[in-house]
């Protein structure tokens, strides 16, 4: 997703914008926030197919629920700082259940739908010790019962 192109689409509302494809910023009048949001969403709607088409998620590791512990967290912290050239690890957990004491969000919204008794294959980034950023999730095809929960 190219942020500069998105902001260029909204340029009639912005005072200025700049940056590069993966990180950009802009300046606008506060009273234009609703106009900007509408215009930016319009751009996303027009480009949704292009943005999502052919998108491949590179998995860094497959983990089990029991792997989400302080040891792994400390190992992942050694990989920081993340940014261009050092992507934040993307993890896959198969046939997992999400517990309600773990905060999960997807596209910046807290996710409640997968906190149930069903099992899911979950692609995520581990943001802080009890916070997962869900990138993708689907009902698990693996119906083997595993006692561990996240």
pLDDT of residue 134: 81
Residue 79 CA to its chain's centroid (Å): 18
- Looking at the chain, which runs of residues are DSSP E strands? 16-20, 23-27, 61-63, 91-96, 103-106, 109-110, 120-128, 131-139
- Above pLDDT 70, what percent of the chain? 75
Q: For the chain, report the end-to-end CA distance as a whole number of angstroms.
A: 31
Q: What is the Cα–Cα distance from 6 to 29, expressed in whole angstroms?
A: 18
The answer to whether 13 and 27 have CB atoms below 8 angstroms apart is no
pLDDT tens, residue by residue, 112-125:
555 567 788 888 88
Closest CA to 132 of 85, 65, 51, 58: 65
pLDDT of residue 47: 79
pLDDT at 146 over 80: no
pLDDT at 91 over 90: yes
Per-residue pLDDT band for 142 (boundaries 50, 70, 90) equals low
pLDDT of residue 65: 79
pLDDT tens, residue by residue, 42-86:
988 887 777 666 667 889 999 987 888 889 888 988 998 888 788
pLDDT at 31 over 80: yes
């Amino acid at each position: 997703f190219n942020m500069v192109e998105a902001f260029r689409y909204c340029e009639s509302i912005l005072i200025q914008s700049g940056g590069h494809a993966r990180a950009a910023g802009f300046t606008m009048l506060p009273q234009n926030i609703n106009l900007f949001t509408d215009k930016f969403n319009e751009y996303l709607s027009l480009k949704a197919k292009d943005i999502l088409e052919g998108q491949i998620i590179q998995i860094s590791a497959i983990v089990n629920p029991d792997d989400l512990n302080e040891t792994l967290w400390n190992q992942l912290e050694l990989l920081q700082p993340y940014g261009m050239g050092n992507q934040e690890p993307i993890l896959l957990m198969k046939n997992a259940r999400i517990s309600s004491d773990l905060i999960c969000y997807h596209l910046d919204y807290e996710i409640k739908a997968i906190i149930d008794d069903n099992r899911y294959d979950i692609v995520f980034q581990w943001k802080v010790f009890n916070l997962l950023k869900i990138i993708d999730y689907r009902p698990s095809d693996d119906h083997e019962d595993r006692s561990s929960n996240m």
